[in-house]
Structure 1
Amino acid sequence: MRLVLVLMFFFSTAVFAQTDKTVIHSEILNDDINLQIHLPDTYAHSNDFNYPVLIVLDGSTQFEHVAANVGFLSTYAIIPEMITVGVSSDQRMKYFTPTQIDKFKDSSGGAEQFRQFLEQELLSTLGKKYRTSDYQILTGHSLAGLFTSYVAMTPNSQFDAVISISPSLWWDSNWLVLKSAELLPAKRAKPLRWFLSMASEPNDMASAFAAQIKQLQDGLGANSTGNASKQLHWFYKHFPDETHDSTPLVGNIEALKTLFAGWNAVPEIAVMPLKDIKHFYRQKSAEFGYEFPLFAQQYNVYGLKATYEQKTAWGVEILAEGTRAFPYSEVLWDSLATAYDLDGQLEQAIQASDKAVLLAKQTDSVFLNEILSQAKRLQSQAKK
């Protein structure tokens, strides 16, 4: 219980993050697109750490809850820390549909142009302004889920993972479902992980989804077995207790947990030394097609777990490397002070605590009082 209470404080940093709002003009679309960019709290803790990007379509309604859940899940090292980007437009039918139909002749069929905007313009623009890594995820719901399904089936897509929540696969008489028989076996530019889900929707929405799952099973085998399994890994879930409107909240959480299932090196109280943690993630690089470096929350989670499971030397090693990778993190420095203290290295604990206090004061950290409290306690120990 003591471990749980201590970790609840030190693992609760990701909710205090920076969100930027801006507009990008697309030459491909000849349109202005609204953006919301949510940076992890740890973004300011390093000058050179690069973060994966999660693009959230229909950002005006879906961005905030997705960004908050990314922050929560990454705080506990369940998924990587990410830069979350909300993308909004008033022409969603045009941009999210892969074919033009007579009923909506002037406002449909622009999916390919919108995909090119995301991959050629948006990702490039984000990379010039922010420290982004070469791992990108795309999520969408309803018509946006139709679009993300289209992206998932596009062999030369730049995205590494795609989420389709209650996708409107009924569009144009199930056009994409039928097209998938041709697209799924195609050789891909790089591996992709695809999560699909359906809630309690009836009629065409549900039947089109069922048809798509059957296509995936026939073309690739259940849950990514078959000839194309090394390139396209797919997963699906049903949420019968959710409506079409409520399912994005649950669906995106489950999608992220599913896409990164088994990603946490230390999900429970069992602990690892630093060398074993690094080996674990080197093995994961083959699974994801990308080598994720350890991020700040991982150092904090794994270092404190080791410390409080009486592996204090492991905790010190993990947290010390964390402060070298993220030298401006007041939380990591304070956690390192805790590890040094429990390892019987009081002088080093005080030095780490002093660094934590300095950084916390400079940034007006929400954790300043707790950090000052540990500093006071360590100073009192030194006087005994």
Structure 2
Amino acid sequence: MQSFLIRTICLVGWIYMAISPQSVLAQPKGEPITIGEKFEMESSVLEETRPYIIGLPDDYETSGQSYPVLYLLDGDGHFHHTTGTVDFLARNGRMPQMIVVAIPNTTDRTRDLTPPILKADKSRFPTAGGADNMLRFIGEELMPEIEKNYRTSPYRVLIGHSFGGLFAIHAMVHRPELFDALLAISPSLWWDQQQLVEQARTFLLKNPEYEARLYMTMANEGGDMLGGAWKLSAVMEEKAPAGLDWEFRLMDEEDHGSIPHRSTYYGLEKIFEDWKGVDDPLVLYDRGGLEAITAHYERLKNKFQLKDLKVPESLINRLGYQLLANNRTEEAITVFKKNVEDFPKSSNVYDSLGEAYKENGQKEEAVKYYKKSLAINPGNTNAVEMLASMGVDYESEDVKISPKVLQSYVGTYEVNPEMRLSITVDGTRLYGEPNGGGKAELFPMSENRFYLKVDDVQVEFNRNDKREVVSITVYQKGEGIEAKKVK
């Protein structure tokens, strides 16, 4: 399997390189922005080498979570705007983060994306009809490859445009088990005298228990393109089972080339319309307590098959402080305790619980939890200040590390080719510097574990049986990510 990095390219700079080398050389060197990686695999089904492009969530390397997967047809043309849309909607709480798997075209797009021709004249498209093989490639080769190499949840979405939209409807009818949601953008349902529409009618009649989500759009195109979409819409209106949540949207202001971007945005919003965070946790808490908040996230976890989904630490923390602000201190303590149970490796959850106990006049408990917070993150200056306000002096243990040990940590550590951390020594001080980031001093907690004073980050150095340093584990809010020593 071969990997190629996909980076943003400055077209203007490329043009100037051809006509004015001196002006390009005068420009400062920037940090590349990586939006994905391109791979190749041999397909026995299609009997050719097939490329695919992977876009991972920004927090993939640190979260430890599994993610639903979006499969994208015509991937070379739509990867950039689709990954941007997914990231934007996820950051705004409209959908979960997803792994995007883009499937570029190779030698014959028509062959790969069209169903077999049953009635129409085959001479116009002599190589057409390979959609079933393409579905086999996706289901039997590509999906297992993705699920082997990445942390995936079972929920899958397929997006296709034009022939790709036709393919999406074909996938729903002929391989319904592959995808939980489908987005068909200006589907070419005129294909083969609209035979797929009739196949859809038969499929829906025979599968009353079918459950999925379908979002279909059509640009200002008219003719057989629009006619096929209206006909399928009528079939859906009449025959769709209760478990098939579908919508057809006509976008008169778009043409065939411009429609994918807005369709992707609105389609993902529709598919994940139930993916709603809790705008005001106190309102939901007052309706049904912590159980109501937990039940909300359980519903999301079950609906979208996200086994790792938890009530967010930040949400419970926010609720606790809302209760404190309303003088409901005992309830705040109960709420903060839930965060301690769910996120025992986070320094912040102990700090918040300590504050609640302090507000409640329970000094002994407050001191206990502030010290627990500091044991995880000695750089928590708020905890030190709160202890001092209660007359408790706190000094972190003065850990001395020999120069020989410090020198053994020096090197470059790699999470992936685009995420590296350099460790250096200056006298008796250890420093870490991520690529593209600033240099920060690492303070010792023990011989092999250090912390940053500027953030809740700890770095642990790992040795093999020969006592050689082979990797580091970087912890933030209790979650760890390993980086191997490469030099």
TM-score of the alignment, normalized to the shorter chain, above 0.5 = yes
The alpha carbon displacement at 1:110 in A equals 0.6
Given candidates 177, 180, 201, the residue that maps to 2:197 is: 177
- Which segment drifts farther, 207-216 or 101-110? 101-110
Given candidates 403, 422, 434, the residue that maps to 1:364 is: 434
Q: Is the 8 A contact 1:98 1:147 kept in 2?
A: yes
Q: Does residue 1:196 correspond to 2:216, yes or no?
A: yes
Cα 1:131–1:236 change in 2 (3 A) is: same
5 Å matches for 1:75-114? 75-90=91-106, 91-100=108-117, 101-114=121-134
Q: Does residue 1:162 correspond to 2:182, yes or no?
A: yes
The alpha carbon displacement at 1:46 in A equals 4.1
- CA deviations over 1:131-189 (Å, ceiling 9, x no partner): 11211111111110110011122254321111111111111221211222212222289
Counterparts of 1:299 and 1:109, CA distance in 2:
47
Q: Is the 8 A contact 1:58 1:86 kept in 2?
A: yes
The alpha carbon displacement at 1:79 in A equals 1.2
Q: What is the DSSP-based 3-state SS (H/G/I as helix, E as strand, rest coil) of the residue aligned with 1:180?
A: helix
Counterparts of 2:175 and 2:201, CA distance in 1:
13
- Which segment drifts farther, 146-155 or 53-62? 146-155
In the comparison of the two structures, how many residue pairs are matched?
340
The alpha carbon displacement at 1:19 in A equals 2.2
**Which residue identity does 1:195 align to in structure 2?**
Y
Counterparts of 2:50 and 2:137, CA distance in 1:
10
> Structure 2 regions of 5+ residues with no counterpart?
1-32, 325-331, 359-368, 382-420, 422-430, 440-451, 457-487
Query: Which one scores higher on RCO, CA 8 angstroms, separation ≥ 6?
Result: 1
Could you tell me the percent identity over the aligned residues?
A: 24
The alpha carbon displacement at 1:238 in A equals 2.4
**Which residue identity does 1:161 align to in structure 2?**
A
Matched with 1:223 is none
Cα 1:204–1:279 change in 2 (3 A) is: same
- Which segment drifts farther, 161-170 or 187-196? 187-196
Identify the structure with the greater helix proportion. 1
**Which residue identity does 1:79 align to in structure 2?**
M
Cα 1:336–1:262 change in 2 (3 A) is: same
**Which residue identity does 1:136 align to in structure 2?**
R
The alpha carbon displacement at 1:293 in A equals 3.5
Q: Does residue 1:240 correspond to 2:256, yes or no?
A: no
Q: Does residue 1:120 correspond to 2:143, yes or no?
A: no
Q: Is the 8 A contact 2:216 2:247 kept in 1?
A: yes
When the two chains are superposed, the root-mean-square deviation of aligned CA atoms in Å is 3.7
Greater C-alpha Rg: 2
**Which residue identity does 1:244 align to in structure 2?**
H
Cα 1:165–1:105 change in 2 (3 A) is: closer
Q: Does residue 1:302 correspond to 2:315, yes or no?
A: yes
Given candidates 267, 275, 296, the residue that maps to 1:280 is: 296
Cα 1:213–1:190 change in 2 (3 A) is: closer
Counterparts of 1:104 and 1:92, CA distance in 2:
14
Counterparts of 1:115 and 1:108, CA distance in 2:
14
Counterparts of 1:52 and 1:318, CA distance in 2:
27
Q: Is the 8 A contact 1:265 1:277 kept in 2?
A: no
The alpha carbon displacement at 1:106 in A equals 3.3
Counterparts of 2:307 and 2:34, CA distance in 1:
21
The alpha carbon displacement at 1:83 in A equals 0.9
Counterparts of 2:351 and 2:52, CA distance in 1:
40
**Which residue identity does 2:128 align to in structure 1?**
S
Q: Is the 8 A contact 1:156 1:189 kept in 2?
A: no
Q: What is the DSSP-based 3-state SS (H/G/I as helix, E as strand, rest coil) of the residue aligned with 1:133?
A: strand
Matched with 2:153 is 133
> Structure 1 regions of 5+ residues with no counterpart?
1-15, 221-227, 328-332, 376-384
Counterparts of 1:51 and 1:62, CA distance in 2:
20
- CA deviations over 1:231-265 (Å, ceiling 9, x no partner): x2222222222222222111111111111112214
The alpha carbon displacement at 1:313 in A equals 5.2
Matched with 1:224 is none
Counterparts of 1:127 and 1:94, CA distance in 2:
26
Q: What is the DSSP-based 3-state SS (H/G/I as helix, E as strand, rest coil) of the residue aligned with 2:39?
A: strand
- CA deviations over 1:255-308 (Å, ceiling 9, x no partner): 11111112214145645566433312333466x3x5323548x62563464356
**Which residue identity does 1:36 align to in structure 2?**
I
Q: Does residue 1:207 correspond to 2:223, yes or no?
A: no
Cα 1:166–1:321 change in 2 (3 A) is: farther
Q: What is the DSSP-based 3-state SS (H/G/I as helix, E as strand, rest coil) of the residue aligned with 1:25?
A: strand
Cα 1:340–1:129 change in 2 (3 A) is: same
Q: Is the 8 A contact 1:57 1:87 kept in 2?
A: yes
- TM-score computed with the length of structure 2 as normaliser: 0.60
Identify the structure with the greater strand proportion. 2
Q: Does residue 1:41 correspond to 2:55, yes or no?
A: no
